[in-house]
Amino acid sequence: MDEPGYHARRRADREARDAIIHPHRYEDVQPLAEVDDEEVSARIEVPNSVHDQSGFNVLNYRPPPAVPDENIPGAMQDGSFAQQGNYGGPTPAAGTEEAQKHHHRMEPHLQLQCGPMLRYDTCKDGIYHAFAMIVTADTGSDYSATPFMAYRYTPRSGGASGLEQQFSQSVSLQDGQQGGSSSGGEVVETVEARKIFIYHSLSGGNSFWRFKIEVKQGELEMPVHYRVNNGREITFYVPGREQNFRFVGHSCNGFSAGVDTEAFNGPDPLWNDLLKKHSQQPIHVLVGGGDQIYCDSLAQEPEMLEWMNEKNEERKQNATLSPEIRFAVDRFFFNHYCKWFRTGAFGRAISCIPMANMLDDHDLIDGFGSYDDVTQASPVFSHIGSRGIFFYQLFQLFIVDEFDGTLPHIPHSNLSIITGGPGPWVPFDNHSFLIWLGPDIRMLLLDCRTERKKTQCVSPVTYERVFAAIRALPSRVKHFILLLGVPIAYPRMVFAEAILSSKLNPMVLLGKSGLAGLAGMVNKFNHDAELLDDLNDHWTAKTHKVERNWLINELVKVAISNRLRISILSGDVHLAAVGHFFDKHYVAPEKDPRYIVNIISSAIVNTPPPAALVGLQGQLNKKTHKTLHSDGIDETMIAVFEHDTDGSKLKNPYFMGRRNYCLNTVLPGTNELEYDIRVEIAQGIGETKGYPVRIPAPGW
């Protein structure tokens, strides 16, 4: 307690926690003078290689800790799964008889930091491929046997739905037992974990354990029950061989700085609604369209403050990547992920519904990839992006490149991966995924962030590889879904882009001057106008227009050649909307290969834009865009939201400024792909109203 900087770091920790709840109180952060940087630096050992990980056992140094365990719902730290995977209601009160029934201590005991989490890969040759992962604190965990997972299922043919057939018996496996068995039709598999990474925190090592799941698909949907080290059993569902998946698209799973989270009842309401839907009819995959976690608060870490508050652009861009910053960045990402991915309804959801995630900027830090080249290449900022991608791949993809490899011609642990070109600012290649969502559906999760620059979203190398994979799809596939983090059929903000990018913008000049109250007019990374990075992110931005139009034309070509109905799923903009491209000669949608609908579903947690901005988007939609007319393609938004959630008539039927997610499936009989946009009925109540949009199967 008497170490230098102890009280300052305690104060910074209290303020950082308070800032999460009341961010507006900490708009202008100040460095902590009490911290002795030289002494801290002398105590921290940092490897020379950028591939080595920070987070070291350093004598007497104590950074701001993670949020206390008692404040974190989700997997209990004693090694039980007391709340994870529980979508049927609240966990029983501690100490009650009912609680004892729910409590299953793992044996050998594991001290959980995060998990269990599920991730879907794909289906191939009738085998369903997925992964599970847990993070354990080495201190307090019993590694006398390698952590193992037992999972069991009964292949089903005909009769009841997955929810109607439940299992009452449990499976208890002795340490080291391996392989599969079958009893009365039930298949039991046991797999040992593979340790894919160790993060060395100040309190000791933290191991990442990955389990491979392979399930032979039956004729019908079936529940799969799994448990780790004889802990609590959790259930997820595997569709039948001829069944198309029921999947959810979501994005923006976190709050921006300055949002009054209490006004929205926190992050849980729509996740609770989603889990209710899952209990009524199983959801097979959670498709994360980007921003599954908001990492912008990294800028509030005490070690980051001096760099963040540097007003001289040249000094900021040339600042040395210090040992303290290396240490703080890894500490932040590890603690932040462990907290968010084991918290509340979201933590429960990802333990019983496998994820399939894609990267966007807030998974790293706000706007990464859309700033000028000098800012992107600066030592500190590029390191933030690099470590952000590393921890994104670790926690969201269960991938470590050094462990799994990156060469395209060598088999990868993930069958669905398409490795693309290298990132210009980070030591990682593009990671895109082409996944099976049933015999009639494929989805491409196109990574538009790793290779992003102000003048590029995706490199030609990646485009070549993903389009080769699309053209190789079997002829039976009817629906091809392209997952893009940012909408591509969306109104232009040309006037705002021009004003904000101008060097003579008076608000930017005043913001750079440091006048009180105007610092928020510029961002703290390169002192450009605030929100300019958001506009530069858009496909409709001036710098991306050529690439955007090329991509749409390539999609039309493959739609014609492969007889595919293409649709696009996006998020990012914190509202719901539906845009579309179509033949400018107005061919019937079912006969039109140019009929490409862009479903926009965002945000499942974050706040909607101000009503005035939503109204402005409606006005901008009235403008005719002719950039694709020479290719025979027109575009506009679709009036999906004629009525509000209470039934009242809306003046702007094109944009819905409420939190939402999208529940999707192929309709039997018609083979239409239905996107049901689930809109929050009233702020924070956790109930939704559906606005279905149906996409016809190819009819040409």
Burial 284-318 (b: 16+ CB within 10 A, else e): bbbbbbbbbbbbbbbbbbbbbbbbbeeeeeeebbe
Q: What is the distance of C-alpha 249 from the center of its chain?
A: 10
Q: Which residues pair with 579 in a beta bridge?
A: 598, 637
Instruction: Inform me whether the pLDDT recorded for 33 exceeds 80.
Output: no
Render pLDDT for 255-303 as a digit per residue (tens, 0 to 9).
988 888 999 999 999 999 999 999 999 999 999 999 999 999 999 999 9
Three-class secondary structure of residue 345 per DSSP: helix
Three-class secondary structure of residue 149 per DSSP: strand
Confidence at residue 80, expressed as pLDDT on a 0 to 100 scale: 32
Integer Cα distance of 462 and 478 in angstroms: 24
CATH superfamily for 247-293+341-493+538-695 is Alkaline phosphatase D (PhoD) (3.60.21.70)
Confidence at residue 548, expressed as pLDDT on a 0 to 100 scale: 92
User: What's the DSSP call for residue 590?
Assistant: G
Confidence at residue 203, expressed as pLDDT on a 0 to 100 scale: 85
Per-residue CA distances from 54 to 333, 450, 461 (Å): 11, 22, 32
Confidence at residue 542, expressed as pLDDT on a 0 to 100 scale: 83
β 441-445/479-483 pair status: parallel
Three-class secondary structure of residue 207 per DSSP: strand
The average pLDDT across 473-499 equals 82
Integer Cα distance of 505 and 535 in angstroms: 16
Residue with tokens 């290719």: 631
Domain extent listing, the chain: 106-238, 247-293+341-493+538-695, 494-528
Task: Name the band, by pLDDT with cuts 50, 70 and 90, for residue 674.
Answer: very high
pTM: 0.81
Phi, psi of 455 (to 5 degrees): -110, 10
Task: Name the band, by pLDDT with cuts 50, 70 and 90, for residue 380.
Answer: very high
Amino acid letter, residue 218 = G
Assigned fold of 106-238? Immunoglobulin-like (2.60.40)
Confidence at residue 528, expressed as pLDDT on a 0 to 100 scale: 54
